[in-house]
């Protein structure tokens, strides 16, 4: 069965590694033309070369999605250079330890800026184009942490709870205007998410969590997104959780 994504124009943020990279490759493999955005231009250029070597089409649009003007520019450049924007995948995100006692407020703000506000900026910019062109798809990458809390995850969990709530509100607002909006909540996925965590104990714990036996691979998250987008237009998967098969607690 064809995916129905052939020739579709997609923008994937946070595409320089991990889940964003896996989704970009999967979309390109399904026939979409993919604009990829993140701060690390060298990583983006390498990704574009990888996609093109496999017969796909991609465009690097470096930028920091926490800067509203740069997030808007990523969307506008996608439309200007590729003609439209059919799919927006918001995958830019970070994790930090986030307990309340002696918490670093700047780190807390950074987590919320990237995980929530970067998503908001891109959605706001893309929706205007999708409404004008008659439809589109938005998939926001959240986390199973957006369904629970923990003693060291309050910053990350709070940001992902907010993404979940915002996404469901967008779905209700835009669904009857042919824009499907979904949230995808991965559990333990093998990525570099731990590498920027400043707390050494938490960094070690998360490294172990995302590299454990049975952890989901970014390519598998990519396949999941392709599945979501390939369903008939009348079907909107409003949310989907992806858990490792071996450790169901994620």
Q: Report yes or no: 180 and 212 within 8 Å, Cβ to Cβ.
A: no
In this structure, the number of other CB atoms found within 10 A of the CB of residue 112 comes to 18
Report how far residue 29's alpha carbon sits from residue 5's, in angstroms, rounded to the nearest whole number: 10
Structure tokens at 150: 């923990």
User: Residue 56 and residue 47: Cα distance in Å, rounded?
Assistant: 11
Exposed, middle or buried, 12 (CB in 10 Å: 0-12/13-18/19+)? Answer: buried
Residue 108 annotated to the active site: no
Q: Which two tokens stand for residue 248?
A: 């169901």
DSSP state of 189: B
- How far apart are the C-alpha atoms of 83 and 79, rounded to whole Å? 5
DSSP string, 81-144: HHS---EEEE---------STT--HHHHHHHHIIIIIHHHHHHHHHHHHHHHHT-EEEEEE--G
Catalytic-role residue among 16, 156, 203, 226 = 156
Catalytic residue positions? 156
């Amino acid at each position: 069965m064809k995916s129905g994504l052939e020739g579709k124009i997609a923008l994937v943020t946070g595409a320089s590694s991990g889940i964003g990279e896996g989704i970009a490759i999967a979309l390109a493999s399904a026939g979409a033309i993919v604009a990829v955005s993140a701060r690390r231009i060298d990583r983006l250029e390498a990704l574009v070369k990888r996609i093109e070597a496999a017969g796909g089409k991609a465009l690097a649009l470096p930028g920091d999605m926490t800067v509203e003007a740069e997030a808007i520019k990523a969307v506008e450049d996608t439309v200007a250079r590729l003609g439209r924007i059919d799919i927006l995948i918001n995958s830019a995100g970070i994790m930090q330890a986030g307990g309340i006692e002696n918490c670093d407020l700047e780190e807390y703000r950074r987590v919320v800026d990237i995980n929530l506000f970067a998503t908001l900026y891109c959605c706001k910019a893309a929706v205007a184009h999708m409404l004008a062109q008659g439809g589109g798809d938005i998939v926001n990458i959240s986390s199973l942490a957006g369904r629970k809390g923990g003693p060291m995850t309050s910053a990350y969990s709070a940001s992902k709870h907010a993404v979940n709530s915002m996404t469901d509100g967008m779905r209700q607002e835009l669904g009857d205007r042919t824009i499907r909006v979904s949230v995808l909540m991965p559990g333990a996925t093998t990525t570099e998410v731990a590498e920027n965590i400043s707390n050494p104990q938490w960094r070690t714990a998360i490294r172990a969590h995302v590299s454990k036996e049975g952890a989901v691979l970014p390519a598998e998250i990519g396949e999941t997104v392709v599945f979501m987008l390939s369903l008939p237009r009348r079907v909107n998967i409003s949310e989907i959780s992806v858990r490792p098969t071996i450790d169901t607690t994620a």
